[in-house]
Amino acid sequence: MRIIAYCITALLLCGCAATASREEVAAARFGPLPANYQQIIRGYMASRLKDPYSTVYRFGTPHKGMVQDGWAVGGKKYFGWIVATWINAKNGFGGYVGEEMHPMFLFDGKVSDASDSFQYGLAKLLP
């Protein structure tokens, strides 16, 4: 049963790699990078962590990028900013788990963790 659920999820998410023509990139509206993008990312992660106040963040340089839905849900493309964010948070026992990299995607006033999108080839950095 688990294998079937995994296969269905993979089909919904995958199906095509993230692609954008030069014309699409030229016409894309990335919007300005919010000056407080680090605070926005911290706020997004706060509700997902056991002890958000002890979390240690390290931010990479923001880059323009895109994330694309899987073909089964329409393949819509979203253009925005991708920020490599290394997060070291505490686990349920109070110990730090070690730094983990999460590519955070900021677009249209929203933020999301694009880790799965990159894993399935549905996200990429743009020139």
Please report the pLDDT score of residue 22 as a whole number.
85
Burial (CB count <10 Å: 0-12, 13-18, 19+), residue 106: buried
Q: What is the DSSP letter of 69?
A: -
Verdict on whether the full-model pTM lies above 0.75: yes
Phi and psi torsions of 4, nearest 5°: -65, -45
At a CB cut-off of 8 Å and minimum separation 6, what does 108 contact?
31, 78, 80
Q: What gap in Å lies between CA 1 and CA 4, rounded to an integer?
A: 5
Walk along the chain (127 residues) and give the pLDDT tens digit of each residue.
Answer: 666 555 455 544 444 577 778 888 888 899 999 999 999 999 999 989 989 999 999 999 999 999 998 877 788 999 999 999 999 999 989 999 999 999 999 998 899 999 999 999 999 999 8
Residue 13 is predicted with a pLDDT of: 47
Amino acid at 55: T
Burial code (b: 16+ CB inside 10 Å, e: under 16) for 8-27 equals eeeeebebeebebeeeeeee
User: CA dist 18 to 28, 83, 111, Å?
Assistant: 15, 17, 19
